[in-house]
Structure 1
Amino acid sequence: MADEPFSLLLPVYFRDDPEHFRLAFKSSVLDQTRAPDEVVLVQDGPIPPALDEAISESVEASPVPVTRVRLAQNVGLAVALEKGLEACRHGIVARMDADDVSLPDRFARQLEVLATGVDIVGTGMLEFLDDTKVVSGRRVPPTGQQEIVRYSRFHDPFNHPTVVYRKAAVRKAGGYQPLGLMEDYWLFVRMIDSGAKVANLPDPLVMYRVGAGAYNRRGGLGQFRAELRLQRLMRGRGFTTRSQYARNLVTRGLYRFLPVAVRKVLYQRIIVRNVPHG
């Protein structure tokens, strides 16, 4: 049912901006036409006083209960999300990052899709640098079970900050597992491979903040090693063919070593559909 209760899972760590967090929390809780029934906020290690104050004030103003999961050390996103999932009381969980913005009807629309028997549903995103009124790009995900499965052999089929999923389907697939910046992709591959029913709404229901170092983080030796491991895992599972594996190693692997400026251009052309500023 579309009115089934759900948890909002929101991780924070020391680099998150207090004002960005306030906006993320407000947009995903106070401003929603269908608010979450609880918020599980995972604090991944020690945080600065200003961020702690922003969290405390947001929790105090929240119309729904908030559970703060405090981790003594920074353990990384995958482990933090696993800890958060353990604390979620409801069978449906919505993801949100601490620097993005949810549009008001996001959860209402995603819950309608989940009510049809889907296990995970993502949405499109609008990218912005700092001002939400100035959109720099648009990500439109693949839609329909068949197309999402096809696309997933070569690219991450979901925009991770937008997904709402059934916790049981995540558990069936083995949950989040650390893998560079690609723990979400690896989870989605395993969910699809384990029989999950998947869907995407092409409409942008989340505004994604593109930080200054976004393109730097997608490259380098560390990300190449994570990419290599991901491709080996996908091939070992039989999720990709030998030719798909080879293609991914060449295209996705070499991408990690391109100059940042070139990497940005390719990313914009392949992943993002540019829209006019304003």
Structure 2
Amino acid sequence: MPFCCGGFLAILEYFKIYFWCLSMELLPFSVLLSVYFKESALYLDAAFESIWDNQSLKPDQIVLVKDGKLSSELDATISMWSEKLGPVLTVVELKENVGLATALNAGLDYCDYELVARMDTDDISLSERFYKQVSFMTHNRDVSVCGAIVEEWDERCLVRLSIRNLPSCHEGIMKFAKRRCPVSHPVVIFRKEAVISSGGYPVVYPEDYPLWIMMLSRGYKFYNVPEVLLRMRAGDEMLCRRGWGFFLGETKVFYLMWKLGFTGSFDFFCNVLTRGVVRLSPRFIKVLLYKFAR
């Protein structure tokens, strides 16, 4: 169960909005993805199935950024989906691998609609994801970023490992953001102009956390749908990625938070210390922390 100021009342309000939106004309939206050469063609195909074949509300546009040269298997999968989707799919080709932040900023320029849903090319969106998030954003024009609860699964999506619960309401998100990333990037939907006016994705890893901090500092309103709307492939590969380099990136984020006045000096040192323990621990300790401390 997600936690939030307001608790049950916040969830009740969400469902009231959801059923009210059944009779509304929903806003059009784009889906933004980026793929690079190390990714799996099978996972990419499954991701496309989840955002098109299996969705109750299909996107008006899908923007896929090819971040540098890809494998022949990935190119074949993209060609197959280009033929299937026709003008719905916009493929943006970058000559060199530039990293996720720069690739997403390039892709944003090609998104035709104000609402943009993020999706990673190895995750699975549940069938009602877009309907529920777009319904919420259509009704709540004051909200700029909307996330949801994510289930973390093993790499083959056979075993559920954990659930990442997050606060729903803006006040809870503001408080949570002082310690941890307050929305799950692969399941977020946002207003394009709000992201661009905040400077877009900063070229740092992780790229999403500092963007949310910049937006929260500028007064943009956030919300997390209190339901599971995405399955994320986690497992050993994700744990390996979140080591020394990830820790250095997070330290830069914590410094940004302190510099903006979002947190104080005590928060900064606590954040760096706790993150250092998590990111620099042996793998078996990381596994336990991710399992029991999410």
TM-score by length of 1: 0.93
CA RMSD of aligned residues (A): 1.4
**2:221 counterpart of 1:197:** yes
Secondary structure at 1:73 match in 2? coil
Distance in structure 2 (CA, Å) of the matches to 1:155 and 1:60: 41
Q: 1:227 offset after TM fit, Å?
A: 2.2
C-alpha distance in 1, partners of 2:200/2:249?
A: 18
Percent of pairs with identical residues: 37
CA contact (8 A) 2:35 2:65 kept: yes
Specify whether residues 133 and 266 from structure 1 end up closer, same or farther in structure 2 by C-alpha distance, changes over 3 A only: closer
Report Cα offsets for 1:67-100 as digits up to 9, x if no partner: 1100000000000000000110111100001000
Q: Does the 8 Å CA contact 1:40/1:87 hold for their aligned counterparts?
A: yes
How far apart are 1:64 and its partner, in Å? 5.7
Cα pair 1:7 1:40 within 8 Å, conserved:
yes
Matched with 1:237 is: 260
Structure 1 residues 250 and 130: CA distance shift in structure 2, 3 A: closer
C-alpha displacement at 1:254, in angstroms? 2.9
SS at match of 1:136: strand
1:120 touches 1:163 (CA, 8 Å); kept in 2? yes
Letter in 1 for 2:167: P
| Conserved 8 A contact 1:148-1:198 | yes
Aligned equivalent of 2:57: 34
Hey, what does 2:208 align to over in structure 1?
184
For the structure 1 residues 218 and 130, does the alpha-carbon distance in structure 2 shift closer, same or farther, using more than 3 Å as the test?
A: closer
The corresponding residue for 1:275 is: none
In structure 2, the gaps of 5 or more residues are 1-23
Structure 1 letter corresponding to 2:243? G
Q: 1:53: which partner in 2?
A: 76
Deviation (angstroms), 1:105: 0.6
Q: Please give the alpha-carbon distance, in whole angstroms, between the structure 2 residues aligned to 1:234 and 1:81.
A: 23
Aligned-residue offset at 1:113: 1.5
Q: 1:18 is matched with which residue?
A: 41
The size of the alignment, in residue pairs, is 269
Q: What is residue 81 of structure 1 aligned with on the other side?
A: 104
Q: Which aligned runs of 4 or more in structure 1 are off by greater than 4 angstroms?
A: none
| Cross-structure match for 1:209 | 233
Is the 2:161–2:291 contact (alpha carbons within 8 Å) kept by the matching residues of 1? no
1:254 and 2:254 equivalent?
no
Larger CA deviation: 132-141 vs 160-169: 132-141
Name the structure where helix makes up a greater proportion of residues: 2
